[in-house]
């Protein structure tokens, strides 16, 4: 059962100079209940615009979208009850207030009564590991802690669908890993998640399905694994103790490129299932025992689809 | 409702800058009262204190209370707040009112300065009716602040706007001279503005032995209700245009 659907969703903006910008261009997709879908794209791709339309913060110019069966344009009230929004970045909380004061205030905005608000607040504080710092002011928090409070706020109303817009933006790797762990715990609880990111690894780690967006369009979508198979993005093979002659022969194998390494160490990229098997067979046949193959990462997928952009991996 | 007020007052007290308009009142009073003494008009002390009080409340409302939405935009809290627009509009109203209400003690402060720092005779008429008038005025000023807060969101460079909304308003509100002494077209405008009625009623209430100005109090009530309604509806309207993309959610 799809819990989020979008049909031909389009949003245009008029800039101050009067030019029309199409931020979102006939986007169609759906998310099944309990699923985590990644919306992956570079800056300016239209991710935030889509997140805001689904969260009812912005009206679509054309097209329709439903969340939990409600129309985002005409039944915003019901949609808002079903949705929790997590924004990335330093801002979005009252920095002079403590985490608990922030959460109580949001619980009140959500229409929770005093008792219920306190109970839910305590619950999310516990769940997100905020207990020790909950009565400290948010302005003293690290970026990672701030993001936990963002997540806690979104969870206070116990939403069916979580929309996270680049939640790990600006986090250091350690904080990011901690945050991703929290999200994985949430996934176990059955909540549906739409995650926007420009970070391939993040999408790869969390999302069973990914939609690649660019210029307001979904340029490709599918199960993360299928995307790779379908796209012939290269896999990375690494091995040690490779005889010199095999090394030069491998260069001539179909689908192989980017051979690198010295002193028997080897890395190469290979495109295609059968081609990869041939490489592995050859290596194993030559007695190579230290051997690994990594699945294609989204950076490679991206390069394959959108050739003319630069990505920092 | 209570949690909105509590949250907001915590925010205010943790940024003492925001209380500056209230802190400068004693200075105003000293200046005004020194002038009174110089001209031997001690009997005007109560009336002057009322004027200073209303000016402080108004300035506090325009410079602090009216900034709630803009502050939220600056903090980045406006965007998530828009997920509950109804509750948020209510929260903003409570927050603006509780900020404005912080100016109420200023009246006592001004009277005490007159009485004890300057030794002026301070006469109080009907205390209950005065309190009613003060509360009504607070509601009206908060309503005006809601309206100003809309402008702050829509117009860039709102500082100029805030400044423009001080002295002309003091004049039209009968805070500098009683509204009845204003020339013709200004007087009409002043008469449509609740603040001039607040000033008149508050001053009339302190005149010993005079009948209670109940008619004026009625007019004040109606004008205050209208002011609050206009402020609230304008805010709701502005927050709706946010969704159509007409207003930026960020700085
Ligand atoms: N309020 C707005 N006014 C004008 N242009 C906008 C507005 N919001 C977004 N855009 C434009 O729409 C495009 C998509 O923006 P956005 O959805 O923020 O992308 P992303 O989140 O993927 O970085 C960008 O070109 C951006 O400049
Ligand atoms: Mg974005």
**Contact: B75, A95; criterion CB under 8 Å:** yes
A180 C-beta neighbours (distance < 10 Å), count: 18
Best residue among B73, B242, B245, B251 to mutate for probing ligand 1, ranked by most atoms within 8 Å of CB:
B245
- Ligand 1 close to Cβ of residue A41 (< 6 A): yes
Distance CA B245, CA B251 (A): 14
pLDDT level of residue A306 (50, 70, 90 thresholds) = low
Mean pLDDT of B186-191: 92
- Measured in angstroms, how far is the CA atom of residue A36 from the centroid of ligand 1? 24
pLDDT score at B176:
84
Q: Is residue A70 over pLDDT 70?
A: yes
pLDDT band at A25 (very low <50, low <70, confident <90, very high): very high
To the nearest 10 degrees (0 to 180), the angle between helices A99-109 and B85-101 is 120
CA distance A313 to A298: 9
A55 contacts in B (CB within 8 Å)?
83
Chain B residue numbers with beta carbons less than 8 Å from the beta carbon of A117 are 3
* Domain annotation covers residue B48: yes
pLDDT at A95: 94
Query: What is the phi/psi pair of residue B50, to 5°?
Result: -65, -45
Residues of A in contact with B244 (CB under 8 A): 59
As a whole number of angstroms, the distance between CA A145 and CA A256 comes to 44
3-state secondary structure at position A223? strand
Q: Which percentage of chain B shows pLDDT scores above 90?
A: 53
Which residues in chain A have their CB less than 8 angstroms from residue B11's CB? 94, 96-97
A–B: how many Cβ contacts below 8 A? 78
Cα–Cα–Cα angle for B186, B130, B68, nearest 5°?
70
Using pLDDT thresholds of 50, 70 and 90, give the confidence band for residue A9: very high
Check residues A13 and A232 and name the one with the higher pLDDT.
A13
Cβ–Cβ gap A105/B4 under 8 Å:
yes
Asked if pLDDT for residue A305 goes beyond 90, the answer is no
Report d(CA A4, CA A19) in Å as an integer.
31
> Is B251 inside any structural domain?
no
More confident residue, A274 or B156: A274
A311 pLDDT exceeds 50? no
Mean pLDDT score, A121-140:
94
Our measurement of the distance from residue B6's CA atom to the centroid of its chain's CA atoms, rounded to an integer in Å, reads: 20
**For atom 27 of ligand 1, which residue has the closest CA?**
A44
pLDDT digits (tens, 9 = 90+) for A76-109: 999 999 999 998 888 899 999 999 999 999 999 9
Task: Judge whether B73 and A88 are in contact, CB under 8 Å.
Answer: no
User: Given this model, what pLDDT does residue A297 score?
Assistant: 64
pTM of the shown model = 0.84
Compute, in angstroms, the gap from residue A23 CA to the centroid of ligand 2: 11
Tell me if A109 and B242 make a contact (CB, 8 A cut-off). no
Tell me the pLDDT of chain A averaged across its residues.
89
Q: How far is B76 from chain A (nearest CA, A)?
A: 4
pLDDT range class, residue A298, cuts 50, 70, 90: low
pLDDT at A308: 46
B83 → closest Cβ in A85, A114, A117: A85
Question: Is the Cβ atom of A13 under 6 angstroms away from ligand 1?
Answer: yes
**CA–CA distance, A232 with A228 (Å, rounded to integer):** 6
CB contact under 8 A, A57 and B83: yes
Cβ-Cβ contacts under 8 Å for A212 (sequence gap 6 or more)? A40, A41, A218, A219, A220, A221, A227, A301, A302, A305, A306
Residue B122 lies in a domain: yes
Residues near ion ligand 2 (CB < 5 Å) are: A 47-48
Q: Is the pLDDT of residue B120 over 60?
A: yes
Identify the pLDDT of residue B20.
79
Domain count for chain B, please give it.
1
pLDDT in tens, A209-222: 999 998 899 988 88
Residues of B with a Cβ under 8 Å from any A Cβ are 3-4, 7, 10-11, 14-15, 75-77, 79-84, 87-88, 91, 242-245, 249
**Whole domain around residue B35: which residue ranges?**
2-243
Looking at residue A230, what is its pLDDT? 58
Say if B153 falls within a structural domain.
yes
Structural domain includes residue B53: yes
Average pLDDT over residues A33-52: 93
| B80 within domain boundaries | yes
Give contacts of A90 with chain B, Cβ < 8 Å.
76
Measured in residues, chain B has a length of: 251
Question: Which residues sit opposite A4 in a β-bridge?
Answer: A31, A67
**What is the residue with the minimal CA distance to atom 2 of ligand 1?**
A13
As a whole-number percent, the residues of chain A with pLDDT over 90 amount to 67
| Mean of the per-residue pLDDT values of chain B | 89
Pick B90 or B160 by higher pLDDT: B90
Output the pLDDT for position A312. 38
A43, A200 contact by CB (below 8 A) = no
- Give the single-character DSSP code of B116: I
CA A304 centroid distance within chain: 19
Query: Using the beta-carbon criterion (under 8 Å), do B84 and A109 form an inter-chain contact?
Result: yes
- Tokens representing residue B236 in the block: 């709701």
Ligand 2 centroid – CA A169 distance (Å) = 10
Ligand 1 pocket mutation pick from A9, A11, A13, A212 by most atoms within 8 angstroms of CB: A13
Domain annotation covers residue B250: no
Say what the ipTM of the complex is.
0.87
Task: Check A58 against B243: CB less than 8 A apart.
Answer: yes
Residue A213 CB less than 6 A away from ligand 1: no
Q: Quick one: CA dihedral A72, A74, A80, A82, positive or negative?
A: negative
Q: What pLDDT score does A239 carry?
A: 93
Give the tokens for residue B117.
Answer: 């720092």
Distance of CA A43 from the midpoint of ligand 2 (Å)? 6
Q: How is residue A313 written in tokens?
A: 């991996």
Question: For position A229, what pLDDT does the model report?
Answer: 60
Residues 6+ apart with CB under 8 A from B165: B62, B148
Q: What is the pLDDT of residue A7?
A: 97
DSSP, collapsed to helix, strand or coil, labels residue A244 as: helix
Q: Is residue B71 part of a domain?
A: yes
Residue A309 confidence (pLDDT): 47
Highest mean predicted confidence (pLDDT) among A112-116, A269-273, B217-221: B217-221
The pLDDT value recorded for residue A231 is: 60
B44-67 pLDDT, tens digit each: 899 999 999 999 999 999 998 888
> Which residue among A76, A83, A96 sits closest to B15, beta carbon to beta carbon?
A96
């Amino acid at each position: 059962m799809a819990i989020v659907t979008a049909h031909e969703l389009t949003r245009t903006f008029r800039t101050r100079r009067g030019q029309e910008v199409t931020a979102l261009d006939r986007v169609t997709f759906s998310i099944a209940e309990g699923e985590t879908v990644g919306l992956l794209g570079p800056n300016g791709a239209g991710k935030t615009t889509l997140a805001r339309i689904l969260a009812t913060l912005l009206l679509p110019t054309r097209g329709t979208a439903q969340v939990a069966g409600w129309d985002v344009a005409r039944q915003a009230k019901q949609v808002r009850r079903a949705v929790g929004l997590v924004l990335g970045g330093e801002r979005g909380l009252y920095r002079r207030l403590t985490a608990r004061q922030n959460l109580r205030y949001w619980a009140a905005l959500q229409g929770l009564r005093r008792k219920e608000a306190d109970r839910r607040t305590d619950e999310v504080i516990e769940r997100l590991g905020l207990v020790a710092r909950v009565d400290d002011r948010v302005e003293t928090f690290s970026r990672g802690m701030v993001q936990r409070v963002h997540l806690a706020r979104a969870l206070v109303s116990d939403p069916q669908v979580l929309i996270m817009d680049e939640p790990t933006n600006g986090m250091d790797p350690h904080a990011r890993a901690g945050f991703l762990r929290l999200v994985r715990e949430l996934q176990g609880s059955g909540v549906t998640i739409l995650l926007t990111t420009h970070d391939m690894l993040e999408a790869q780690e969390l999302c069973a399905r990914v939609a690649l967006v660019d210029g307001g369009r979904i340029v490709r979508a599918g199960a993360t694994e299928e995307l790779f198979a379908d796209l012939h993005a290269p896999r990375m093979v690494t091995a040690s103790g490779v005889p010199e002659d095999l090394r030069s022969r491998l260069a001539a194998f179909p689908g192989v490129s980017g051979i690198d390494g010295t002193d028997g160490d080897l890395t190469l990229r290979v495109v295609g299932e059968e081609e990869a098997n041939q490489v592995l067979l050859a290596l194993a046949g030559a007695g190579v025992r230290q051997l690994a193959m990594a699945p294609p990462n989204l950076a490679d997928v991206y390069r394959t689809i959108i050739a003319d952009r630069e990505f920092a991996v | 409702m209570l949690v909105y007020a509590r949250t907001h007052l915590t925010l205010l007290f943790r940024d003492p800058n925001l209380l500056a308009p209230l802190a400068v009142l004693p200075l105003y009073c000293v200046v005004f009262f020194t002038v009174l003494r110089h001209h031997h008009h001690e009997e005007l002390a109560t009336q002057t204190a009322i004027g200073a009080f209303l000016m402080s409340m108004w300035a506090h409302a325009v410079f602090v209370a009216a900034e709630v939405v803009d502050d939220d935009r600056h903090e980045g809290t406006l965007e998530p707040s828009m997920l509950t627009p109804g509750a948020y509009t209510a929260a903003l109203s409570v927050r603006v009112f509780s900020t404005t209400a912080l100016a109420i003690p200023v009246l006592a402060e001004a009277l005490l300065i007159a009485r004890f720092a300057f030794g002026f005779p301070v006469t109080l008429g009907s205390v209950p009716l005065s309190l009613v008038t003060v509360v009504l005025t607070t509601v009206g000023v908060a309503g005006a602040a809601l309206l100003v807060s809309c402008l702050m969101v829509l117009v860039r460079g709102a500082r100029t706007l805030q400044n423009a909304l001080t002295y002309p308003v003091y004049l039209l509100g009968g805070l500098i001279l009683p509204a009845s002494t204003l020339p013709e077209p200004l007087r009409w405008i002043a008469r449509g503005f609740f603040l001039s009625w607040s000033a008149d009623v508050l001053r009339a209430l302190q005149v010993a032995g005079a009948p209670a100005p109940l008619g004026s109090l009625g007019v004040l009530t109606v004008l205050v209700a209208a002011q609050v309604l206009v402020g609230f509806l304008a805010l709701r309207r502005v927050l709706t245009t946010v969704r159509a993309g007409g207003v930026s959610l960020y700085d």
